[in-house]
Amino acid sequence: MSSDAASQQGDREGASYRLGARNKNAQDRAAIARVKEWVRDRFRLNEDDVVMVNELECSLPGCPPLETVIAFWTEDGQRRHYKVFKPVAEVVEDDLPPSWMKNALIVLDGMGCDCC
């Protein structure tokens, strides 16, 4: 493991996240599909662009119990992501950033994001 990877691993050791913390019911699956569609429409994504919507459970102090992480990759190879600090079933279209912020959501190399 490289020293950078070891450093990032060390930074995450105290973190307590659980991805896919519970079984998704039909309502959760419908909410995920709805949010993915909103993301595609808002940022004018191509059908082939990958969109990921996950709900994370966090037990760190000050962290919401459930948060929704949204990431997407576009044909330019750039990954973009953001979080909505509520469960996916409660996310509404107005929770998404405006379309003009698309490039501000790019994850730069070495940014050290643990979420996606």
Tens-place pLDDT, residues 23-82: 678 898 999 999 999 999 999 999 999 999 999 998 888 888 999 999 999 988 889 999
Residue 87 lies in a domain: yes
Q: Which residue has the tokens 């998704």?
A: 24
User: Radius of gyration (Cα) for the chain, nearest Å?
Assistant: 15
Q: Which residue has the tokens 């953001």?
A: 82
The confidence score (pLDDT) of residue 115 equals 53
The confidence score (pLDDT) of residue 23 equals 63
Residue 2 lies in a domain: no
Confidence of residue 114 (pLDDT cuts 50, 70, 90): low
Residue 110 lies in a domain: no
Please give the tally of structural domains in the chain: 1
Q: What does pTM read for this prediction? A: 0.73
Residue 72 lies in a domain: yes
Q: Which domain holds residue 78?
A: 17-105
Residue 11 lies in a domain: no
Contact 57, 65 (CB under 8 A): yes
Residue 9 lies in a domain: no
Confidence of residue 11 (pLDDT cuts 50, 70, 90): very low
Nearest to 38 by CA among 76, 84, 75: 84
Contact 53, 36 (CB under 8 A): yes
Residue 3 lies in a domain: no
Residue 96 lies in a domain: yes
